[in-house]
Amino acid sequence: MTGLAASIERRNGVSLWRQIADRILQAIANGDFAENAALPPEMALAERYGVNRHTVRSAIAALVQEGVLKAEQGRGTFVLSRKRLSYPIGARTRFSTGLQGQTSERHIALLSSSKEPAGRRIAEALGIARGAAVIRLETRGEADGHPVSRATTWFDAKRFAGIEAAMAETGSITASLKRFGINDYLRHSTVLSARHADADDLAALDLQPGAIVLVTIAVNVTLDGQPIQFAESRFPAERVELRLSAGD
Amino acid sequence: MTGLAASIERRNGVSLWRQIADRILQAIANGDFAENAALPPEMALAERYGVNRHTVRSAIAALVQEGVLKAEQGRGTFVLSRKRLSYPIGARTRFSTGLQGQTSERHIALLSSSKEPAGRRIAEALGIARGAAVIRLETRGEADGHPVSRATTWFDAKRFAGIEAAMAETGSITASLKRFGINDYLRHSTVLSARHADADDLAALDLQPGAIVLVTIAVNVTLDGQPIQFAESRFPAERVELRLSAGD
DNA sequence: TAAATTTGTCTATTGATATAGACAACTATA
DNA sequence: TATAGTTGTCTATATCAATAGACAAATTTA
């Protein structure tokens, strides 16, 4: 399928070993290797990608460091298989319901919260005056102890005063909103993009530098269309894919 | 907002100038700079990112090459503003209707076509036997003369014999499907991921090496749920964002 | 046991990346 | 017309990235 033949680019600002590490990760996520399967020998990979064996070794070293591969002298290099999580997004997406069946344990950790004046984008999305106070929550989604998302969420401070405490206590946006009389809500719009992870993402998501994150910018609304929440979420592209299902 | 403070990472396989170029691109796409606005002076950027001025110059040089910035000796460096296209995806997404109002001219160019046996993934998606013949189309979406997407599409060769000719003639998937008696179809499922662009993407999308592409893998079905089309599309993350609207 | 295969380590060399400093060329402004 | 601010060019140096070759160490297979 895709990504087998295509060659490697030089002099682009992305080192060859990083590009090759990306390829291998992609192949694993694609299911090209079975659980605990052996990677082709270093010489074979070097030939396939048209680079020196040492360059392949650098790529493998990075993935070993990352816990994706395990190298054994004399035997080979093996895939410790981390399949990609498939994360559904749609009108009724909730974090905890989204990953059902794929992981056994999941929750949202509140990293920090603060109060700040609303910028242009946030004010427009929440339908409040620019400069009005908003509460900002920094959270991390975890599944089976592994970080799978990193989000920044804004609420109208007037309407949702104290939501950071509710969030810290319940570990759930849905449960926290219930305390403010909101029993159901919908995702109104989602904008999707991708970029290199920044320093904050790297630390929070336990990523290796150079990793790519999928970014969603979403507005949640009540059933009658009133905006309640504005959020930017980052997902590590190497561990998560986003899934849109018809009818969601 | 996001992306202003976060610092630059070293020894990660992605060169500093590439990381800084990414940041600047992101800031422009974010709307942090007005049309034709001047970028901060090189010295200021160097200080902000904690690097040497020459490193900033490398980043700027790459973006000038790319046509995003224009540097004028003695005056400053200016944003040639290319706003990001917002590309809607949903149950009723069509290429030509999707970008209405954002661009004046758009069409799909057929790059090549071939016949091949269906692999596991494609056979499952199309509901045909593994190894059955499928037609594969390589296409490029263009808006105002700029490439905005690169797709690989598979059809059941038995049912859609000759669709490559229809596609070449009409330049439209929708119009081509009409010739086979399909007047309407829906997007059944979409899976979203992101990765570094490979050599083929770089050439077809006119990207600088190191660029990131958003990848969608979609299945289109007839109104009664019969799968007709399997497609993998790549969008340059620096020029395109994907938008999910409620009710689509 | 011997041979083949595969990963691990070492040395050496080349080119790209990044830093540093100095100064030229050009523009806008006081 | 000075002066300050900005981009452009040059030299020099240190480190990282990539290539190249040789051989050691461990495992599997004949």
Domain coordinates in residue numbering, chain B: 16-79, 85-243
User: Around Cβ B48, how many Cβ atoms within 10 Å?
Assistant: 16
Q: What is the mean pLDDT of residues A157-180?
A: 90
Of the segments A6-20, A232-246, B182-196, B229-243, which one has the largest average pLDDT value?
B229-243
pLDDT averaged over every residue in chain B: 82
For chain A, percent helix, then strand, then coil, each to nearest 5?
25, 35, 35
pLDDT at B99: 46
Nucleotide with minimal C1' distance from the CA of A73 is C7
pLDDT at B1: 35
Give the strand order in the sheet containing A106-117: A106-117, A133-143, A146-156, A227-236, A212-222, A185-196, B240-245, B85-88
Residue B243 and residue A191: Cβ atoms within 8 Å?
yes
Q: What is the mean pLDDT of residues A101-128?
A: 83
pLDDT tens for B130-145 read 999 999 999 998 887 7
pLDDT at A230: 94
Chain B interface disruption, residue of A1, A4, A12, A55, most B CBs within 10 A: A12
Residues in B 192-221 with any Cβ partner in A closer than 8 A: 192-196, 198-200, 202, 208-210, 212-214
Residues of B with CB below 8 A from A246's CB?
91, 186-189
pLDDT tens for B54-82 read 999 999 988 888 778 899 999 999 998 66
pLDDT at A207: 81
Nucleotide with minimal C1' distance from the CA of A39 is C6
Q: Is the pLDDT of residue A97 over 50?
A: no
pLDDT tens for A54-65 read 999 999 988 888
CATH code at A16-79:
1.10.10.10
* Nearest one of B66, B79, B87 to B31, comparing CA atoms: B79
pLDDT at A247: 44
DSSP-derived 3-state class of residue A43:
helix
Residue B244 and residue A190: Cβ atoms within 8 Å?
yes
- The reply to whether the CB atom of residue B231 sits less than 7 A from any atom in nucleic acid chain D is no
| Partner residues linked to B10 by β-bridges | none
Residue B6 and residue A89: Cβ atoms within 8 Å?
no
Assembly ipTM: 0.76
How many interface pairs between A and B have CB atoms less than 8 angstroms apart?
A: 157
Burial class of residue A146, CB neighbours in 10 A (0-12, 13-18, 19+): middle
Q: Is the pLDDT of residue A222 over 90?
A: no
Q: Is B43 on the interface with A (CB under 8 A)?
A: no
CATH code at B85-243:
3.40.1410.10
Q: Is the pLDDT of residue A81 over 70?
A: no
Residue pair B27/B39 in contact (Cβ under 8 Å)? The answer is no
> Which chain A residue has the Cα nearest residue B243?
A191
